Every structure is written in C-alpha cells, then in structure tokens.
Amino acid sequence: MSDKKSTEQAKSKAMKEYKGKERRVCRRFTVPGATVSYSLKEIPSSEKKKDESWDEEFCPVEDLSCGGIRFAGKKPLKINSDITVKILIPGERTPLTVYGQVRWLSTEEDINVCRTGVQLNPYGEGEGKNYPGLMVKLLELEHKFSTPDSDITQYEIDS
C-alpha cells in the first residue's frame, strides 16, 4: 500500500511542477564589465560616435540575451519608449548597437538606481529591426558566458 501512496505522491508532485511547454530558446547571461549607453531618440549614424548623442552612458549591464537587456541607470524611462542601446563588451573592438522598447522599470531611490528592462526589436531587414548578424554575435556571447542554470528568454526573427 505504501508503494501505491508514494507513486501517487510522485505523480501529484510532477503535476504541480509542470508549467507547460517551454518556448524560450535564448538564455540570459552576464558579461562581466559590460556597459550600455542609450538614447531615447533615433541617432543618425553620422552622430553615433559623439558623446552628446547619448542620454546616459556607461550603465552597468545586469544581464542580456538575444531577446533583451537589463541595465542599471540613473534615470527612470517611460514604459514602451523606443530606445537605441549601444552595448560595450570588454575585449570587443566594436560596440553592438541594438533597437528595442523599454518594457519594465524598477527603481531604488535610496541608492539612486533605476533598473531598466528592454525588449529587443525583431531581427531582420527593414526600419526599426535589428541586424541579424547581431543575433549571431549575441549567441556567441551567450555560449561564452551563460551557465546551465541561466534563465531562458524568447527572441523573434522577421524576414
């Protein structure tokens, strides 16, 4: 009788832990020393190197994935704002410039930090989309820096 009871408990436990089909395919990871600069307006390519083009610079990256990035800045941003983000990766010659939308904020006024979550726009060709080669670079970084227990997030590719 105890075998039947333990089998039922195992089934019950398995049912409680089932959360549906996992659809996420890209892991969140942290790159030590990575920072971002961002702008809430689209920056013409001729001006991207000028310091005054960015609203805030050298914000520490908390995590990133092919689908988004979370960083700690000083300024609270508006949810759903379009944003251009330049990601500076230590050891990489060229920063990664991506486009997305602010999706969430978390402020800690006592230490003057505003954590910002940005969902990256789909990868593909066309206005407002991220260059597909950036996804390849982010996947390389994911492979290099992610751990087996990293969170997983979803990304999109448009053609």
Query: Token pair for residue 25?
Result: 């395919």
- Quick: pLDDT tens for 5-59: 555 554 444 433 333 444 445 788 999 999 999 999 765 555 555 545 899 999 9
pTM: 0.73
- Quick: pLDDT tens for 115-145: 999 999 999 999 889 999 999 999 999 989 9
State residue 53's pLDDT score: 82
pLDDT band at 146 (very low <50, low <70, confident <90, very high): confident
Give the three-class secondary structure for 137: helix
State residue 68's pLDDT score: 94
Segment 88-110 shows an average pLDDT of 92
- How far apart CA 56 and CA 21 sit, in angstroms, is 39
The continuous run of DSSP H or E covering 39 comes out as: strand 35-39
Pick the CATH number of 26-153 from 3.30.420.130, 2.40.30.10, 1.20.1090.10, 2.40.10.220: 2.40.10.220
pLDDT band at 71 (very low <50, low <70, confident <90, very high): very high
pLDDT band at 149 (very low <50, low <70, confident <90, very high): low
